[in-house]
Amino acid sequence: MKFLRESDSFWGKALLAIVGGLLLATSYPAISFYPGMFFGLFLIVLAIRGTGFLKAFWLGLIAGFSFYGLVLIWLTTYLGPIPWFALCFAESVFFGVSTAVIAVVWKYINTLRLGSWKNIVLAFTIGGIYTGREFVASHFPFGGLPWARVGLSQAENYLAKWAWGIDIAGLSWLIVFATSLGAVTFISALPQGSGLARRFKNWIPTLVVWVILFCVPAVFDLPHPTSEGSLRVAAVQGNANAGLFAHNPPGSILDKHLRVAKKLIDSGKAKGVELMVWPENSADLDPINVLDENIKVTKFVNEDLKAPLLFGNKTFRGTDYFNEVDLWNPNVGLTDWYDKKRPVPFGEYVPYRSFFMSLAPDMIGLIGWDMSPGTRDGVFDVKDNVRVGSLICFEATIDELGYDLVDDGAKAIMIQTNSSDFGKSEQGVQLAGISRMRAIVTGRTVVAISTVGLSGIYTPDGQVVRELPMFTPAAMVADISLRSDRTPAVIYGRYIEPTAFFFGIAAFLIALVGLTVARVRRRR
C-alpha cells in the first residue's frame, strides 16, 4: 500500500503501467474480464502520480503499448508482426502524450485551493483528457482507430446501457472519472489516527459516483418506443475464405453463399422473408459487370428468394474501385448501392503509396488497387416506408456513420463484415461486441452478418436474438422491430468526444500558464 501511494521508483511505476495496460486489454471480448478496465485504469493513474511531463509520457507509452499490443494481437494473423507493431506504437504515442498532459494538469490542480472538491475536479479532468485522447486516436492518422475505446469494453456487460444516453464517449469519460476518483482518493489517504468516521467521509464522493455508475443501469431499463412494425430478415453466413489475399476459384465465394441461402429456402425457414442479407465481399466476382454472376444472382432473387437481396460486392466505376453493398430486387436487378465511405488504410488502400512502397514493397504490393471512398448514403428502401442502413465492417466502429444512418431514416441497421483474414482470433468477437454497442447507441435492431462469424442479431437494448457459430455455413431468420425514434446518444453524443478534446487542451494550457506564473513568483 505504501509503495502504491508513495514510491517514486520509475521501474516500479513502469511495472504498474505494464500490468495496467494488460488489464485494460482483458476487458474486451473475447477475454471479457470486465473489471480489467477498472483495475487497469486504477494502476495507470497510480503509475503517473507525482511525475512530470517526460516521465509520464514514457510511462504512458509503456502502458499504451501493453494495452494495444494485447487487444490488437489479432492483427498479426492478417499481415504479421510489423504492421501490428507499427500501429500499436503509433497508438501508444497518443496514449503517452495524454498521460503526460494529465501529469502536468494534475501538478497544477494540486496547487489550487479546492478543498474537498479537489479530487473530484482532478478525476473529472483526467476523464476528459483520456476521452479527448480517444477522439484524437479515432480520427488520426489516416482516419484513426476507434476500435479499443473504454466505452466499448463493456459491450457484453449491463454498463453498456449507459451508451443509450451518453454515447460510447460519455461512457468512456464516466468510467475513467469514477476509476480516477477512486485512485486519487486512495493516494490522498488520511494520516494514521484520523478515525474511521473521518476516513469514511473522505470516501463518500467516490462511493456516490460508483453507486451511480453501477446501480443506475442495474435498475434502469432502456425505453422501448412503439415499434413501427417489423421486417422479416434472413442473414446468411457462407463460411467463405473471402480474405483480401485469399486464393479461391473464381466465383466460389458467391457460390457458397448461394448454396447456404438455397438450403435455407428449401428448408421452409425463409418463408415470408422480406430481406436477405449477405456479408461484405460475399460476391467475389462482380455481378454488375460479370455476366455469369449477374445471371446467378438474378435467377436466385427472381425464382428462389422472391425478395430483395443486400450483399457485399467489389466493383469498378470508371477508374474508381469500391467496396460496396448492392441491393438486388426481384424482376428489377440492381436498384441501389452504398460505397464504403471509410476504406481501411493498408487494408483497402495505401496512403502515400510511393513512400510506404519504398519501405516494404512486398507487403504494400499485395494491395494491388486502392479502393476509393464512397459518397452515397448507406440507406436502402427495401419495402414501402421501410428503410434500412448499412455499415461495412470497420465502419461499425465509427460513430458519425451510425448517426448519419439514423438521421437519414434507417429503421434498422445491417452491419456486413468480412473477418476471414483474421482466422479464429478475437477480431470477430470484438466486432460483434461493437455491433451490440451500435444497436444500443442508435436504438436500432442490428443484423451483423460476417463471412465466417461471429454473426448475430441484436435488439436496440443490446440483447442477443441469435448468433451463428464461427466458421460454420449457417443462416438465421428473425422478425426484427423497426424504429424511427432518436436516442439521446444520437442527438447529443456526437458532441462529447470533441468537447473532451477541447476541454483537455484548455486544461493543459491553463496548467502551463498557472505553473509558469507560480514558478516566476517563486523566483521573485
Higher pLDDT, 351 or 193: 351
Which among 244, 248, 472 has a CA at the least distance from the CA of 366? 244
Instruction: Say which amino acid occupies 462.
Output: G
Per DSSP, 437 falls in state: H
370 within a domain of the structure (yes/no): no
Residue 82 lies in a domain: yes
Q: What pLDDT is recorded for position 3?
A: 79
Which pLDDT score is estimated for 197? 78
Number of structural domains, the chain? 2
pLDDT, residue 95, reads 98
- Tell whether 202 and 305 lie within a shared domain: no
Q: CB–CB of 150/134 below 8 Å?
A: yes
Domain that holds residue 466: 230-341+377-484
- Phi–psi pair at 102, nearest 5 degrees: -60, -40
In this structure, are 192 and 137 located in the same domain? Answer: yes
pLDDT at res. 361: 77
User: What's the pTM?
Assistant: 0.95
H/E element holding 390? strand 386-392
Q: Are residues 317 and 427 in the same domain?
A: yes
AA letter at 230: S
Q: Which amino acid, residue 81?
A: P
Measured in whole angstroms, the distance separating CA 48 from the mean position of its chain's CA atoms is 27
pLDDT digits (tens, 9 = 90+) for 198-230: 777 889 999 999 999 999 999 999 988 878 899
The verdict on 37 and 147 lying in the same domain is yes
Q: Is 259 a member of any domain?
A: yes
Q: What is the pLDDT of residue 244?
A: 66
pLDDT attached to residue 192: 67
- DSSP letter string, 228-243: --EEEEEEEE------
Name the pLDDT band for 6 (thresholds 50, 70, 90): confident
In this prediction, residues 235-250 reach a mean pLDDT of 83
Task: Verify that 141 and 288 share a domain, yes or no.
Answer: no
Statement to judge: residues 255 and 197 lie in one domain: no
Q: Which three cell numbers stand for residue 67?
A: 494495452
Q: What is the pLDDT of residue 190?
A: 67
Record the cell numbers describing residue 258, joined without a space: 448461394
233, 279, 288, 235: which is closest to 261 by C-alpha?
235
Q: Among 46, 53, 40, which residue's Cα sits nearest to residue 12?
A: 46
Cα–Cα distance measured from residue 7 to residue 50, given in angstroms and rounded to the nearest whole number: 9
Give domain status of residue 366, yes or no. no
pLDDT range class, residue 515, cuts 50, 70, 90:
very high
Same domain, 294 and 209: no
Rounded average pLDDT over 452-477 = 94
| Residue 494: pLDDT over 70 | yes
Predicted confidence at residue 82, as pLDDT, reads: 86
Distances (CA, A) of 209 to 145, 205, 212, 455: 30, 6, 5, 36
Contact 414, 391 (CB under 8 A): yes
| Range from 2-11, 19-28, 328-337, 477-486 carrying the lowest mean pLDDT | 2-11
- Residue position matching grid coordinates 455491433: 435
Identify the bridge partners of residue 458 per DSSP, sorted by sequence position: 446, 464
Q: Are the C-beta atoms of residues 379 and 408 closer than 8 Å to each other?
A: yes
CA distance 46 to 151: 21
Percentage of the chain beyond pLDDT 70 is 98
Residues 266 and 121 in one domain: no
At residue 414 the predicted structure's pLDDT band, cuts being 50, 70 and 90, is: very high
Residue 359 lies inside a defined structural domain of this protein: no
Q: Are residues 195 and 235 in the same domain?
A: no
- Domain assignment present for residue 52? The answer is yes
In a domain, 353, yes or no: no
DSSP for 25-87, written as a single string: HHTSTTT--THHHHHHHHHHHHHTTT--HHHHHHHHHHHHHHHHHHHTTTHHHHH-HHHHHHH
Whether 176 maps to a domain, the answer reads yes
Residue pLDDT, tens place only, 253-287: 999 999 999 999 999 999 999 999 999 999 989 99
Mean pLDDT of the chain: 93
Check if the beta carbon of residue 138 is closer than 8 Å to that of residue 503: no
344: DSSP letter: P
pLDDT digits (tens, 9 = 90+) for 152-202: 999 999 999 999 999 999 999 999 999 999 999 999 876 666 667 777 788
Q: What is the longest distance spanned by two Cα atoms in the chain?
A: 89
Do the Cβ atoms of 56 and 98 come closer than 8 Å?
no
State whether 307 and 426 are in the same domain: yes
Does the pLDDT at position 245 exceed 70? no
Q: Say if residue 322's pLDDT is above 80.
A: yes
Does one domain contain both 244 and 138? Answer: no
CATH number of the domain that residue 444 is part of = 3.60.110.10
> What is the rounded average pLDDT of the residues 130-154?
95
363's grid cell: 507487403
- Grid cell in block for residue 85: 507493431
What is the DSSP-derived secondary structure letter of residue 370?
Answer: P
Q: What is the mean pLDDT of residues 123-142?
A: 96
393, 417 Cβ separation under 8 angstroms: yes
Say how far apart CA 267 and CA 289 lie, in whole Å: 32
Task: Note whether 18 and 91 are same-domain residues.
Answer: yes
Does 469 have pLDDT greater than 70? yes
Residue 4's CB is within 10 A of a number of other CB atoms, namely 16
| Residue 521: partners with Cβ closer than 8 Å, 6 or more residues away | none
Nearest to 423 by CA among 7, 140, 75, 180: 75
